[in-house]
A and B are shown apart, each in its own frame.
Chain A
Amino acid sequence: MMERETLHSFLRDMLLARAFEERAAEEYSKGNIAGFLHLYPGEEAVAVGVIRAVEPSDYIVSTYREHVHALVRGVPAGQVMAELFGRTDGICGGMGGSMHLFDRQRRFMGGYAIVGETYPVALGVAYAIAMRELPEAVVCFFGDGAVNQGTFHESLNMAALWRLPVLFVCENNQYQIGTDVHRHSAVTEMHKRAHAYNIPAEKVDGMDVFKVHDAAHHALDRIRSGSGPQFIEYTTYRFRGHSMADPGAYRPPVEVRAYQANDPVSAAVKDLEFRYPNAEELAQAGPDNIHRLAERGRSAGHLNEEDVQAIEEEVGKIVEDAVQFALRSPQPTIEDAWAHLYHNRRHEVLI
Chain B
Amino acid sequence: MAEELLYWQALNRALDAEMAADESVFTLGEDVGLYGGSYRVTEGLYARYGEWRVRDTPISENSFTGLGVGAAMVGMRPVVEIMTVNFALLALDAIVNMAAKIPFMSGGQFAMPLVVRMPGGVAKQLAAQHSQRLEHTLMNVPGLRIAVPATPQDAYWQLRQAIASEDPVIVLEHELLYFSKGPVDFAAAAPPLHRAAVRRQGKDVTLIAYSRMAELALEAAQELAKDNIKAEVIDLRSLSPIDWDTCAASLARTHRLLIVEEDCRFAGAGAEIAAHLGERCFFDLDGPVRRVAGLDMPTPFNGELEAASIPRVADIVTAVRELCLAGAKK
Contacts and interface: CB of A to CB of B under 8 A. Distances in A.
Interface in B15-66: 26, 52-53, 57-58, 60, 62-66
Contact of A102 (B66, B94, B107, B145): B107
B70 A125 contact: yes
B245 interface: yes
Nearest to A332: B107
B52 A131 contact: yes
Given A343-B108, A344-B108, A124 B103 contact: no
Given A125-B74, A128-B74, A96 B107 contact: yes
A128 B71 contact: yes
Given A119-B63, A154-B58, A104 B165 contact: no
Contact of B104 (A95, A109, A121, A161): A95
B60 A125 contact: no
Contacts of A154: 58, 60, 62-64
A117 B97 contact: yes
Interface in B119-150: 142-143, 145
A150 to B, nearest CB: 6
A351 interface: yes
A109 to B, nearest CB: 6
Q: Main SS of chain A's interface residues? A: helix
A300 to B, nearest CB: 40
Interface stretch (B1-9, B188-196, B203-211, B286-294): B188-196
B69 interface: yes
Contacts of B166: 344-346, 348
Contacts of A130: 52
Interface stretch (B109-117, B216-224, B296-304, B316-324): B109-117
A120 B65 contact: yes
A248 interface: no
A94 to B, nearest CB: 8
A154 B104 CA distance: 27
Contacts of A340: 103-104, 107-108
A123 B66 CA distance: 8
Nearest to B108: A343
A157 interface: yes
Contacts of A150: 60, 62-63
A269 interface: no
Q: How large is the interface on B (under 10, 10 to 19, 20 to 34, 35 or more residues)?
A: 35 or more
Contacts of A343: 103, 107-108
A131 B72 contact: no
A155 B60 CA distance: 8
B103 A158 contact: no
Q: How large is the interface on A (under 10, 10 to 19, 20 to 34, 35 or more residues)?
A: 35 or more
B245 A351 contact: yes
A199 B104 CA distance: 34
Q: Which of A120, A131, A349 has the most CB of B within 10 A?
A: A120
Contact of A127 (B58, B62, B71, B105): B71
Contact of A104 (B58, B106, B112): B106
Interface string A330-344: 000000010111011
Interface string A92-105: 11111000101110
A151 B194 CA distance: 33
Contact of A92 (B60, B71, B93, B106): B106
B285 interface: no
A151 B62 contact: yes
Nearest to B109: A104
Given A102-B106, A341-B104, A344-B108, A124 B66 contact: yes
A96 B108 CA distance: 11
Contacts of A128: 70-71, 74-76
Nearest to B63: A154
Contacts of A122: 70
A158 B64 contact: yes
B67 interface: yes
A91 interface: yes
A123 B105 contact: no
B192 A125 contact: no
Contacts of B66: 117, 119-121, 123-124, 151, 155
18 contacts: A96-B105, A96-B106, A102-B102, A117-B66, A117-B97, A120-B94, A121-B98, A127-B70, A151-B62, A155-B67, A158-B57, A158-B60, A158-B63, A339-B108, A344-B103, A346-B166, A351-B194, A351-B245
Given A129-B74, A151-B62, 12 more contacts: A92-B109, A104-B109, A117-B94, A120-B65, A124-B67, A127-B70, A128-B70, A150-B62, A150-B63, A155-B63, A344-B111, A345-B167
